[in-house]
């Protein structure tokens, strides 16, 4: 099975607590196999078994208290 990897920008993160919150919400999406957050840049890399809709990613990031950049 192939893995899809996409990088997105998340705004509003300022600390490791922010990173953990975003990682946990994104990791809970069915099909997501890995999440890596780079706090310094706001880049979030999501690996998954299938394409995850941007709306679904945005909703998870919002649930963590942050925003997926447009």
- 61 three-state secondary structure: helix
**4-68 maps to which CATH number?**
3.30.70.100
Q: What are the structural domain ranges in the chain? A: 4-68
> Do 4 and 47 contact (CB within 8 A), yes or no?
yes
Which pTM does this prediction carry?
A: 0.93
Is the pLDDT reported for residue 67 higher than 90? yes
DSSP secondary structure letter of residue 49: S
Q: How confident is the model at residue 1 (pLDDT cuts 50, 70, 90)?
A: low
Q: Is there a contact between 1 and 50 (Cβ–Cβ < 8 Å)? A: no
């Amino acid at each position: 099975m192939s893995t899809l990897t996409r990088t997105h920008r998340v705004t509003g993160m300022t600390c490791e607590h922010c990173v953990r919150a975003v990682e946990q919400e994104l990791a809970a999406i069915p099909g997501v196999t890995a999440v890596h957050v780079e706090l310094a840049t706001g880049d979030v890399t999501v690996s998954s078994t299938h394409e995850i809709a941007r709306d679904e990613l945005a909703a998870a990031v919002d649930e963590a208290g942050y925003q997926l950049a447009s």
